[in-house]
A = this chain, B = another copy of it.
Amino acid sequence: MIPVVSAPTERAVNLADVARLAGVSPATASRALGGHPHVAAATRERVLRIADELSYVVSPDASRLAGGRTGRVAALVPHLSRWYFAALVDGLAGALRAAGLDLLLHPVGDADDRVEYFRRLPARRAVDAIVTVAFPVDDAERERLEGLDVTVVAVGGQVGSHPFVTIDDEAAGRQAVDHLIHLGHSRIAMIETLDPEQRGDQPAGRRLAYERALADAGHPLDPDLDCTVEWGGEEGADAMARLLGLRHPPTAVYAHSDEVALGAVRTLRRAGLRIPADVSVIGIDDDPLAALTDLTTVHQPVREQGTLAGHMVATALSGSDPGPGIVLPTRLVVRGSTAPPRGLR
């Protein structure tokens, strides 16, 4: 379980505190404090009032380049062409640009890239900070990064005790699985994904959510319903086909991500099954294509995570404390792919 930033007690007030008390996202709080457009006047006033009450001060240095440094920040990105990674980087790039910092893209998509990257790392010293973009590093790699003596920030995950912005994967998974359980499903399959190019030290929050939600509801865990595949829509489609071949197929499917869920949807449609009348499907992410395909999912604020990570980098480079980390909330988005199982309607 990822620690959630709580009340500002023993430490300096940070942006997350202001946002939480103002009842807005940290991204909105940041925009309000920064005087950006597209923030409602009432919201801006509330954020400024809270910031004032908490004596929160935007560091004057946080928005410009600290002197004597390179002005460059490297982002380690495994899979830029997937929406989630691209949206994280998009938010990050915008925030860094606003702070006068340039973003270097360091692709580390496959195992070879990764080994090569860390081998050559000392030569990469010409940056002020490194941001790991949903990229789990192992202890040896973390020590390599730390040996560079630059700021390290993690987005979409955590790296040691470095500042981070992420979501609580287990909480997101619980929102998804609990929704299916509340609808009356008990035979719920999980299509979990693993990235074969990455080490196995990824947070298993989405899997834990499945196991715990079923246990809490008193439903048995059926190993036949627990699929683990590589990430991707085609892989989700194959997993769904395997599930349909079971003697007792599931009445609902919980997929690791929206793209995997859409693969499952394609298989169901090809089999002539109706969604959600015959089978319910839920994803996680709220990728823009989820809205287009009427997929029920759990929304996570992706671009905002990147933006906040950029703010943290700028804050740290200005010599201020970016705070320990931010866990942004997720929320269930009910669309047309989930409904009670047939017997209950």
Contact = CB atoms under 8 A, between A and B. Distances in A.
Interface of A: 72, 75, 79-83, 85-87, 89-90, 93-94, 97, 102-107, 109, 113, 232-234, 237, 259, 262-263, 265-266, 269, 288-289, 291-294, 303
Contact of A107 (B94, B113, B262, B266): B94
9 contacts: A80-B89, A90-B107, A93-B107, A97-B106, A102-B104, A102-B106, A262-B293, A269-B294, A289-B289
Given A81-B87, A102-B105, 16 more contacts: A81-B90, A81-B303, A82-B86, A86-B86, A90-B107, A93-B107, A94-B109, A97-B107, A103-B104, A104-B104, A105-B105, A233-B292, A234-B291, A234-B292, A259-B289, A269-B294
Describe A's contact surface by its main secondary structure: helix
B237 A266 contact: no
Contact of A292 (B75, B90, B237, B294): B237
A86 B90 CA distance: 10
A27 to B, nearest CB: 14
Contacts of A232: 288
Contacts of A303: 81
Counting chain B CB atoms within 10 Å of each CB, which of A72, A104, A107 scores highest?
A107
Counting chain B CB atoms within 10 Å of each CB, which of A105, A233, A262, A293 scores highest?
A105
Contact of A105 (B87, B103, B109): B103
Contacts of A82: 86
A109 B104 CA distance: 17
A252 B260 CA distance: 29
Contacts of A113: 97
Contacts of A94: 107, 109
Nearest to A264: B292
A266 B289 contact: no
A83 B81 contact: yes
A294 B293 CA distance: 12
Contacts of A89: 80, 105
Contacts of A107: 90, 93-94, 97
Counting chain B CB atoms within 10 Å of each CB, which of A237, A265, A288 scores highest?
A288
A77 to B, nearest CB: 8
A106 B101 CA distance: 10
B292 A263 contact: yes
A258 to B, nearest CB: 9
